[in-house]
Amino acid sequence: MFFRMIRGTFARQWKKMLMIALTVALGASIATAMLNVMLDVGDKINEELKTYGSNITVIPQSEAVMNKLYDVENDEIKAEYIQEEKLGELMTIFWANNITDFAPLTDTTVTLNGSDVRLIGSWFDHHLEFVKKGTTYQRDTGIINLRSWWDITDGKWMDEQKLDGDKYAMIGAELAKEKNLSAGNKITVNGEKGAEELTIVGVYESGDDEDQCIYTTLPVVQRLTDSSGLFKKAEVSAITSPDDELAVKAAKNPSLLSGDEYDLWYCTAYVSSICFQIQEAIPEASAAAVRQIADSEGKILEKTELLMSLITLMSLIGATLGISNLVTSGVMERSAELALLKAVGAANSQIPRLVLTEIMITSVIGAAAGYFIGYAFAQIIGHTVFSSSIEMSGIVALIVAVLIIAVTLVGCIPAIRMLLRLRPSEVLHGAH
């Protein structure tokens, strides 16, 4: 009989039930989309920020100490070097898979057609092989990925693996314009230790002062600075977890952490723990986070999560109000019927139970539809904003289910209060 009455309500009030289901579906879809994006947004923002360059720099230990002591830029101190072959160690650390790219850089000042120019030697798409304890590690890495925002206005990216020899260069757009150079031209650069004739492979526009520089292969600069097998600095791009209190504490001094804290910190991809592991792998180097990027990640993540939480909250409040209006008006329309049930013997609790069951069934249908719509919303957001799909989390389905039950129950409160106050005598034949 209970389900016959519920079936009857659905048959008779299907428009109202459809509206309730749509309201729930809207709330559930937004909650599903936002919560999934929120859970996935950390990695997405990390990936997004990786396209803006490295977030860790590796410099010689001694230089780092001088920088700290005198608070000066590293160019003002006589540069020390790190052995190029040590860079392979980056592929062996605990968080090696989070290191997406890295490249050594050594710069020097050379003269080009009578004027001083900054010449930077690096890897472009260097094939690196590193053997440690019988294991061979391999990777193609270089500034092609670390400078992914460069716009190649003439020629192409330098492909180290395909070019014959190392006497090639890419020139900044401003310098190329100033010196009237283009791809295919040959230039001669004069350094302290000699001169090199280089072929320009491409002209890049970086949007910063590197537009006045020349990038060439690392061996060219090593020859010009008499630093064969060495480099001054390395840039590392790593996928990191946003800093929290533990990361901040560890960044000050990891030795202050308790055993458990240390394990948690070490096994979390904080930028500080990755830097720490780089220093463990290359003891003569000092690795430091590029604070601007690391901080931006945390701030962007925090603000994005706050925004999404607010959107979720607003949508759920909207759904609650919608449900409340629809259920209350539905109960008002059915007051004679519901009062009759009381008049034929229904207890005060039985009527709300009947109405709640009807609304809960409707909500479950709406929530299920909303979850799948939310999945589609999440993918649209993922592809529109981050150009990749959003991974759906099982926990979100659970959270959305709990939220929708809460929203439905809260939305039904005014109607239930009305039902409890409903007096069959008043509804059925007036008070007196």
Binding site for other proteins (CB under 8 A): 1-2, 4-5, 8-9, 11-12, 336-337, 340-348, 350, 423-425, 428-432
Map residue 148 onto helix, strand or coil: coil
Least Å from the CB of residue 336 to other proteins:
7
Helices (H), 137-258: 143-146, 173-179, 218-224, 245-252
> Which helix (DSSP H) or strand (DSSP E) does residue 106 occupy?
strand 99-112
Beta bridge partner(s), residue 287:
58
Least Å from the CB of residue 338 to other proteins:
10
Long-range CB contacts (within 8 A, 24+) of 182-190: 182/154, 182/155, 183/154, 183/155, 183/156, 184/155, 187/112, 187/113, 187/214, 188/112, 189/110, 189/111, 189/112, 189/117, 189/119, 189/214, 189/224, 190/110, 190/111, 190/112
Least Å from the CB of residue 1 to other proteins:
4
Computed from CA positions of residues 366, 372, 373, 378, in that sequence, does the dihedral angle turn out positive or negative? Answer: positive
Q: Give whichever of 78 and 432 is closer to other proteins, judged by the CB atom.
A: 432
> Which helix (DSSP H) or strand (DSSP E) does residue 260 occupy?
helix 259-266
Least Å from the CB of residue 309 to other proteins:
43
| Of 416, 394, 403, the residue nearest 366 (C-alpha) | 403
Q: Give whichever of 232 and 334 is closer to other proteins, judged by the CB atom.
A: 334
Q: What is the DSSP letter of 180?
A: T
Q: Give whichever of 9 and 141 is closer to other proteins, judged by the CB atom.
A: 9
Pairing of strands 56-60, 233-238: antiparallel
Least Å from the CB of residue 243 to other proteins:
59
Least Å from the CB of residue 431 to other proteins:
7
Q: Give whichever of 290 and 427 is closer to other proteins, judged by the CB atom.
A: 427
Q: Give whichever of 329 and 348 is closer to other proteins, judged by the CB atom.
A: 348
Least Å from the CB of residue 352 to other proteins:
14
Longest alpha-carbon distance in the chain: 113
| The residue count for the chain | 432
d(CA 216, CA 84): 16
Q: Give whichever of 259 and 430 is closer to other proteins, judged by the CB atom.
A: 430
Q: Give whichever of 331 and 396 is closer to other proteins, judged by the CB atom.
A: 331
Q: Give whichever of 7 and 132 is closer to other proteins, judged by the CB atom.
A: 7
Least Å from the CB of residue 8 to other proteins:
3
Q: Give whichever of 133 and 421 is closer to other proteins, judged by the CB atom.
A: 421
Q: Give whichever of 163 and 341 is closer to other proteins, judged by the CB atom.
A: 341
d(CA 86, CA 267): 23
Copy the structure tokens of residue 84.
């190029």
Least Å from the CB of residue 310 to other proteins:
42
Least Å from the CB of residue 311 to other proteins:
40
Pairing of strands 168-172, 56-60: unpaired
Least Å from the CB of residue 418 to other proteins:
16
Region of 129 (left: φ > 0; alpha: ψ -120 to 50; beta: rest) is beta
Map residue 423 onto helix, strand or coil: coil
Beta bridge partner(s), residue 59:
286
Half-sphere exposure of 228 (CA within 13 A, CB side): 2
Q: Which residue has the tokens 């040590």?
A: 86
Q: Give whichever of 406 and 428 is closer to other proteins, judged by the CB atom.
A: 428
**One-letter amino acid for residue 317 of the chain:** I
